[in-house]
Amino acid sequence: ALLHEVLPAEVLNDTPRLAAALKALPIRLCAMRPIDEAISTAGGVMRQALDARLMLNALPGVFCAGEMLDWDAPTGGYLLSASLASGRTAGQGALEWLAARSATAS
């Protein structure tokens, strides 16, 4: 929704320009929140249900990241970092999975 507020429709419909806009999106940090407010919640996809690249064992081709994962830890201000890192892992896993499927289809 935020992107629709700040970007014109022609950018939203142009994948390279949209990617560039996302990469340039500023994230302004004003202050840290108290630890009681700055923790992730429990629940989500259990680690045992995922492979090393965060793909669901029961649904090949479906990857999970960030708060989709079951973690319950006082991550404080690091929740964003953990979410981005797991997103990178899942994204790389998706690329590898697609490449392997493409290679076997050829």
Higher pLDDT: 48 or 25? It is: 48
For residues 10 and 54, state if they share a domain: no
Domain that holds residue 62: 32-105
Taking the model in full, what pTM does it have?
Answer: 0.60
pLDDT tens, 80-90?
Answer: 888 899 999 99
The token pair that represents 41 in the structure block: 């919640």
Tell me how many domains the chain contains: 2
13 alpha-carbon distance from chain centroid: 21
The answer to whether 86 and 69 have CB atoms below 8 angstroms apart is: yes
pLDDT tens, 38-81?
Answer: 666 667 899 999 999 999 999 999 999 998 998 766 555 677 88
For residues 51 and 99, state if they share a domain: yes
Burial string for 25-37 (b: 16+ CB within 10 Å, else e) reads: eeeeeeeeeeeee
For residues 19 and 56, state if they share a domain: no
The answer to whether 7 and 14 have CB atoms below 8 angstroms apart is: no
